[in-house]
Amino acid sequence: MSQLDPDDTTPLLRDDESSDGSVEEDSSSRWRSIRVMYFTMFLSSVGFTIVITSLWPYLQKIDSSADASFLGWVVAAYSLGQMVASPIFGWWSNHRPRREPLVCSIFINLSANIYYAYVYLPKTNNKFHMLMSRAFVGFGAGNVAVVRSYVAGATSLKERTNAMANMSACQALGFILGPALQAGLSFIGEQGVTVEFIHLRLNMYTSPALLAAALGIINIMLVLWVLKEHRVDDHGRCVQAINYTSEDRAEISEETEETIDQVAVVTSNVLFFVVMFIFAVFETIATPLTMDMFAWTRKEAVLYNGIIICCIGCESILVFLVVKMASQRVGDRPVFLAGLAIIFAGFFILLPWGNHFPKIQWADVKNNSLISMMSGATIAPNSSLEPTGCPYEQTWCQYTPAIHLAQYISSDFLIGVGYPACNVMSYTLYSKILGPKPQGVYMGWLTASGSGARTLAPIFVSHVYTILGPRWAFSLICALVVGAIVLLGSVYHRLIAFSVRHGRTVE
């Protein structure tokens, strides 16, 4: 039975401002600023997910030369931009007030969302404009490193784990509302309305990005008017870190650097990479997979997958609450291990089987051509006779069994349980392993790990899925999860809190 920190009983979304026993006059300001950081983290998730289910049909609509492999690059561009920007904004925040990198990054983000809404305007290379717009949206989301370092520096050790859990909950809430907003806006339709004087087509593809831009304006105002610079020590007492000299910082770093278990730090980053890689695969493949397997139209795929991801987000909020209680009883590591096992089960049941094969799209093309010849009519590109099913160019469609809807829903449910459990345990364990050391640089590494995973995963799964099909794609993911379970088991004894490692508390 582990010795519980008093903060472990704090509800997930409640911040106990007096939990450190201090009565500082700026306590309310400190927690208001932290909550602004929660909102910024929330908007980062919304900015990624609000268009994720419509990326594929929008890409097909603006540029017919784009295939599923290019979709992987478009999805990966967001995370690649974030990976590049995270150390830049992190370094900036170490030398200047955090308002500066935050306002700059959010402005880049909202400008890129407006760019995304206009990618249909150029006459050629529209798919590359979409790629660039998503890369700039991701670059703006590099402020996640600033958010994590701010919260780490503005909370005591006792408050920090709960604060990290709160940020995970805000991310999950973003995953809920992003797809939900996209699904709600899908009723505008593909045609929508045109605002002539600014040459804007307001439809189900562009309106989510414009909504994200509007939320970015709200975020900038909160950062400018509410956010204050706060830093507290390990016990929650206010300190002025900005007045530290370089010698003071060097002494602090030298005092704590040797005491951190670097093997545990590296392992935690690798495990976080795997967790984010797995979920990025799931997000990327959801829309093309359902369009191929269930013959959904573009509009149906956006609507239904938006609803499904929204349900997964609601499920994850409940999982966060359960995980909080479960970790108190059995510890963080067993919960992490159980989460990986559940994710494995989610992808394993997604493997195709049986004698039912997907509908082939070329059959629609032939039938439509026959109807056109018999009636003398011309079929418009955006007519109700939109080809549906598995594209004939994907040869595996002809010999790979179709995935049943029940398989897909069951997989969604299991991944919706396993992913949030692993996500919150990643942050919690990492925060505890680091201990009293200022965590800005280390949180930058964690952000880079997650961004790297979300960069590589879409490219990997889109290419493997397009060329080899779902059987190979999901088998490789299952193998990756098994590898993560083995890694976690091999360093299980080292993934312990800093205070436990040094004998200050008993696990």
Q: Average pLDDT in the 467-486 region?
A: 92
pLDDT in tens, 113-152: 999 999 998 888 889 999 999 999 999 988 888 888 788 7
Reported as a pLDDT band with limits 50, 70 and 90, residue 252 is very low
C-alpha closest to that of 395 among 290, 471, 468: 468
What's the confidence (pLDDT) of residue 253?
Answer: 45
Name which of 368, 401, 412 is nearest 293 in CA terms.
401
Least confident of 16-30, 38-52, 101-115, 175-189: 16-30
Comparing 370 with 440, which gets the higher pLDDT? 440
d(CA 149, CA 167): 12
For residue 331, how many C-alpha atoms fall within 13 Å in the half-sphere facing its CB? Answer: 14
Give me the pLDDT at residue 274, please. 93
Find all residues with CB under 8 Å of 18, minimum gap 6, and list them. 27
Alpha helix ranges (H) inside 295-331? 298-330
Distance CA 60, CA 120 (A): 11
Distance CA 185, CA 208 (A): 7
pLDDT at 204 over 70: yes
Tell me the sheet residues that pair with 238.
Answer: 232
pLDDT of residue 440: 61
Q: Which range (8-22, 112-126, 360-374, 416-430) has the least confidence?
A: 8-22
Q: Which helix (H) or strand (E) holds 195?
A: strand 193-195
Element (H, E) at 377: none
| Mean residue pLDDT across the chain | 79
Residue 475 has pLDDT above 90, yes or no: yes
Q: State which amino acid sits at residue 493.
A: H
pLDDT at 12: 47
In the chain, the amino acid numbered 188 is I
Q: Of the ranges 174-178, 415-419, 432-436, 464-468, which one carries the lowest mean pLDDT score?
A: 432-436
Q: Report, as an integer, the average pLDDT of 11-32.
A: 58
List the domains of the chain with CATH numbers.
26-356+401-501 (1.20.1250.20)
* CA dihedral over 492, 494, 495, 500, signed as positive or negative: positive
Phi, psi angles (nearest 5°) of residue 193: -130, 155
Give Cα separations from 278 to 268, 336, 477 (angstroms): 15, 14, 7
CA-to-CA dists, residue 285 to 81, 305, 345, 370, 444, angstroms: 20, 11, 17, 32, 28
Instruction: Indicate whether 390 pLDDT > 70.
Output: yes
Cα 171 from Cα 127, distance rounded (Å): 28
CA–CA dist 461, 457 (Å, integer): 6
Q: Which of 9-23, 202-216, 278-292 has the lowest mean pLDDT?
A: 9-23
What share of the chain has pLDDT > 70, as a percent? Answer: 81
pLDDT of residue 177: 80
